[in-house]
Amino acid sequence: MWQTRNIAEHAYCPRLFYFMQVEGVFLPSTDTVQGVAVHRRVDKPSQAPASPEEGDSAAARPVAVRSLALSSEALQLTAKLDLAEISGVVAVPVEYRKGRPKRSVMSPPPDELDEVDDPPLAQTEPWPTDRVQVGLQVLLLEEAGYTVPRAVLYYAEVKLRLDVPVDDTLRADARACLAAAQRTAEAGQRPPPLVNDSRCARCSLQPFCLPDELNYLKAEGDEEAEPARPPRKLWPPRAEGEHVIVQKYGARVGVRGESLRVTDNEGRVLKELPLAGVESVYLLGHVQITSQAVAMLAEKGVPVAWLSAAGRLQAVTDPLDSVSATVRRAQVLRLEDPVMRLELARTLITAKIQNQRTLLMRNAKPPTTAERADTAGATDLPPHPIPLPLGGGEGARRAGEGNASALSTSAADSGIDGRASLERAVVEMSHHAAAAAKASDLEVVRGHEGQAAALYFAHLPGTFKDQEIAAEFAKHGRDRRPPPDPVNACLSFAYAMLTHECIAALRLARLEPSLGGFHRSKPGRPALALDLMEPFRPLIADSLALAAFNRGELGAGHFFRSAAGCVFTDTGRRAFFSCYDRRMNAEVTHPAFGYRLTYRRMLGLHARLIAAWLLGEVPVLTFLTTR
């Protein structure tokens, strides 16, 4: 069955119709929330209307019927009318609208006696989408046996009832829009986005559709096309929603009315906030949540993540509205192609190495005089100076992230100082980024990632001001199972949180997080989420740890050491989440599009660009890099 509301959106934008009807996408905005408020009264169903066959006996039944549900097998159409004014066999549909009607300017008739031109006349008329929607309602009412002489549009902003006469033209327009919408849906692919159209500015799905961004990337990839116009800044840089993190031992999350309520183990209210403003919920350690809260959050499309007290992601709810057969089918088919997986891997790892290199150049301490003397004359470097494994896949990653001492060990065999100088390291990382971008095999990309990671983590301790913290991190290198020191514990916790952020971003983009391209898909591994987070590891997690320790917001006292490793204390976790929230809400300028977004919104933007690339809407992929 086709919904009349979605069919009417086809008259506004075929791509919007496809998102809503075929993929089931809906993103609330200020306009949609205000529209819900306008419909609140008519959304309460009244007594059932009389059937047209009842004749005179219908006089005792209500005249105004709210939330009247109609459907037609012949038209394959269904609708819920806001209001229907019924008298016997005569019915008049009344559709409520939040805004105001369209105004068209008409010139007054000429008058030979007038010396001064009269001002133009303004005439109100329904918007095309509104006209189509009431036209479809007319078809349903007539199919049910009613006579419909007119339809009414009520515009709440100006409190105006606008009559729409029912004639053959209205019926023909409604049927034509229905047929066009059916053809669009049956085509099986998203219609192209509008080009520099004013309608996009007020569309609630603009952050999902990305019309300007997709048109810009398509034009950039086409040498014969006209120069691309930079995307307009249509969506705000930051979201207004709340990301709720509950970590207090024994806390309980429930709902009361339209509010999310957090209480302690004695029933005292710790926090209460409107459900409408919640974007995600994190539950750490021994925290309970009621089934009613899970159901209501799922109904609103809000993901809930369960994490261990150490920050390991254990489970995530999957609201059913996050599934799109069109996107999932394209994801499976495209990522089965080795060429597509290689292209994704090259783009991801090139951006990751560039961002790691930038972080070192900004924050690492300059080399000592002795280091400069040891590396003098070593500016012209071979492309792959350190013989770490190129074809080992996960082995290359372990060599890079498992222990930074692998760098000095392998380099010593070739007579090169393993610590080298910062200048030498950043040049080598630049070589690895360039080589990864041109790699002809996925294992070669993994090898360059591992070699760049070894260089990166060998010099990352030099970015920390606390000498004791830095020395302990330098001793262990990057070690995660379990984290042996505060820096490793902070990085592991930040990576776990970032993984959930990427899962949420991919679900909003209608992608399956477990089907990756660069990371191998394994049971329980969100491979595509790990793919997406690669360029953002240094930008979000590593930068967060660096800033938190260097500003004194985190220190040795915020961690507890045991035989099971180094973990946050309760106070340490609170301090971490304060830093994490600040980092996720920090704004950064996109290098290609030119506008600023928070890091959280950047994750969502790039998840949707991956979906567009998998669907063939853009020819190339790009990821965020900073200078």
The pLDDT of residue 132 is 92
Residues 269 and 330 in one domain: no
Q: Does residue 187 have a pLDDT over 90? A: no
Question: Is 218 inside any structural domain?
Answer: no
Q: What is the average per-residue pLDDT within 566-580?
A: 90
What is the β-pairing status of strands 150-155 and 559-562? Answer: unpaired
pLDDT greater at residue 462 or residue 122: 462
Reply yes or no on whether the pLDDT at 329 is more than 80: yes
Is residue 82 classed as helix, strand or coil in its secondary structure? strand
Do 358 and 376 sit in the same domain of this protein?
Answer: yes
Strand partners, 283: 246, 306
CA-wise closest residue to 234 among 279, 198, 191, 195: 198
Minimum mean pLDDT range among 18-32, 238-252, 420-434, 492-506: 18-32
Amino acid at 245: I
What does the pLDDT read at residue 243?
A: 84
Range with the lowest mean pLDDT among 48-52, 199-203, 216-220, 262-266? 48-52
Q: Report how far Cα 122 is from the mean position of its chain's Cα atoms.
A: 42
Of the given ranges (52-66, 138-152, 224-238, 307-321), which has the lowest mean pLDDT?
A: 52-66
The answer to whether residue 515 scores a pLDDT higher than 70 is yes
CA nearest neighbour of 450 among 384, 498, 528, 365: 384
3-state helix, strand, coil in the chain (%, to 5): 45, 15, 35
Of 23, 14, 22, the C-alpha closest to 511 is 23
Q: Who's near 240: CB < 8 A, 6+ residues apart?
A: 277
The residues, ordered by sequence, that sit 6+ positions from 373 with a Cβ below 8 Å of its Cβ are none
User: What is the per-residue pLDDT for 453?
Assistant: 93
- Which of 230-244, 262-276, 496-510, 589-603 is predicted least confidently? 230-244
Q: Are strands 150-155 and 90-97 parallel, antiparallel or unpaired?
A: parallel
Domain boundary among 263, 295, 321: 321
**Residue 580 forms part of a structural domain:** yes
Instruction: List phi, psi (to 5°) of 70.
Output: -135, 150
Q: What radius of gyration do the chain's Cα atoms show?
A: 30
Angle, vertex CA 231, rays to CA 225 and CA 236, nearest 5:
165
**pLDDT (0 to 100) of residue 480:** 78
Question: What's the pLDDT band for 376 if we cut at 50, 70, 90?
Answer: very low
In a domain, 209, yes or no: no
Q: In terms of domains, do 499 and 440 share one?
A: yes
Mean pLDDT within 482-487:
90
Within a domain: residue 201? Answer: no
The residue among 157, 173, 191 that closes a domain is: 191
> How far is residue 187 from each of residues 18, 93, 147, 250, 320, measured CA to CA in Å?
10, 32, 35, 52, 24
Helices (H) and strands (E) in the chain, counts: 22, 20
CA distance 488 to 583: 18
> Looking at the domain assignment, is residue 433 inside a domain?
yes
Longest dimension (CA), the chain: 105
My answer on whether 267 and 331 are in the same domain is no
Q: Tens of pLDDT along 104-153?
A: 665 555 555 555 455 555 678 888 889 999 999 999 999 888 999 999 98
State how beta strands 2-3 and 77-87 pair. Answer: parallel
Same domain, 249 and 358: no
- Reported for 581-588, long-range contacts at CB under 8 A and 24+ positions apart, including other chains, are 581/243, 583/540, 583/543, 583/544, 583/547, 584/243, 584/501, 584/540, 585/238, 587/237, 587/238, 588/539, 588/624, 588/626
Lowest mean pLDDT among 222-231, 414-423, 477-486: 414-423
pLDDT above 90 for 445: yes
**Mean pLDDT of all residues in 404-431:** 59
User: What is the pLDDT, as a whole number, of residue 538?
Assistant: 95
Structure tokens at 572: 């340490």
Please state, as a whole number, how many other Cβ atoms lie within 10 Å of the Cβ of residue 87.
12
CATH number at residue 74: 3.90.320.10
Q: Phi and psi dihedrals of 140, rounded to 5? A: -70, -40
| Cβ pair 243, 282 in contact under 8 A | yes
Residues 306 and 173 in one domain: no
Query: Which amino acid type is present at position 298?
Result: A
CATH of the domain at 304: 3.100.10.20
φ and ψ at residue 423, rounded to 5 degrees: -60, -45
- What is residue 541's DSSP assignment? I
Residue 7, SS3 per DSSP: helix
Q: Name the percent of the chain lying above pLDDT 90.
A: 32
pLDDT at 575: 93
Confidence band, pLDDT 50/70/90 cuts, at residue 411: very low
Residue 70 lies in a domain: yes
Write down which residue in 256, 286, 321 finishes a domain: 321
Q: What domain range includes position 268?
A: 242-321
Question: What share of the chain has pLDDT > 70, as a percent?
Answer: 79
Same domain? 457 vs 506? yes
Please give the structure tokens belonging to residue 337: 């192609």
Written as six digits, the tokens of 7 are 């069919």
Residues 299 and 438 in one domain: no
CB atoms within 10 A of CB 441: 13
Q: How high does pLDDT run on average in the chain?
A: 81
Q: Whole-angstrom Cα distance, residue 79 to residue 1?
A: 9
Number of Cβ within 10 Å of residue 268's Cβ equals 8
Whether residues 446 and 337 share a domain: the answer is yes
Q: How far is residue 532's CA from residue 623's CA, in Å, rounded to a whole number?
A: 9
Q: What is the pLDDT confidence band of residue 320, given thresholds at 50, 70 and 90?
A: low
599 found inside a domain? no
Side-chain half-sphere CA neighbours of 210 within 13 A: 23
Average confidence (pLDDT) over 444-473: 91
The region of weakest confidence among 30-44, 311-325, 465-479 is: 30-44
Write down the pTM of the prediction.
0.79
Per residue in 29-50, pLDDT tens? 555 555 454 445 555 555 555 5
Q: What is the mean pLDDT of residues 454-459?
A: 91
Both 144 and 82 in one domain: the answer is yes
Say what the alpha-carbon torsion angle 369, 370, 371, 377 is, to the nearest 10 degrees. 90
Give the strand pairing for 102-106 and 121-125: antiparallel
Are residues 301 and 375 located together in one domain of the fold?
no
pLDDT of residue 447: 93
**3 pairs with which residues across the strands?**
78
Is cis: bond before 482, omega within 30 of 0? yes
How many domains are there within the chain? 3
Q: What are phi and psi for residue 374, nearest 5 degrees?
A: -65, -30
Element (DSSP H or E) covering residue 589? strand 587-589
**CATH code assigned at 366:** 1.20.120.920
The CA angle 80-81-87, to the nearest 5 degrees, is 130
Closest residue by Cα to residue 441 from 344, 342, 350, 520: 342
Establish if 347 belongs to a structural domain.
yes
The answer to whether residues 455 and 524 belong to one domain is yes
pLDDT reported for residue 160: 87
C-alpha span between 179 and 472 (Å, rounded): 68
Q: Is residue 367 scored above 70 in pLDDT?
A: no
The owner of tokens 């209001």 is: 83
- Joined tokens for residue 534: 């690669």
Provide the pLDDT confidence category of residue 168 given band limits of 50, 70 and 90: very high
Q: Mean pLDDT throughout 311-326? A: 75
Check residue 404 and give its pLDDT.
45
DSSP 3-state assignment of 352? helix
Residue 371 has pLDDT above 70, yes or no: no
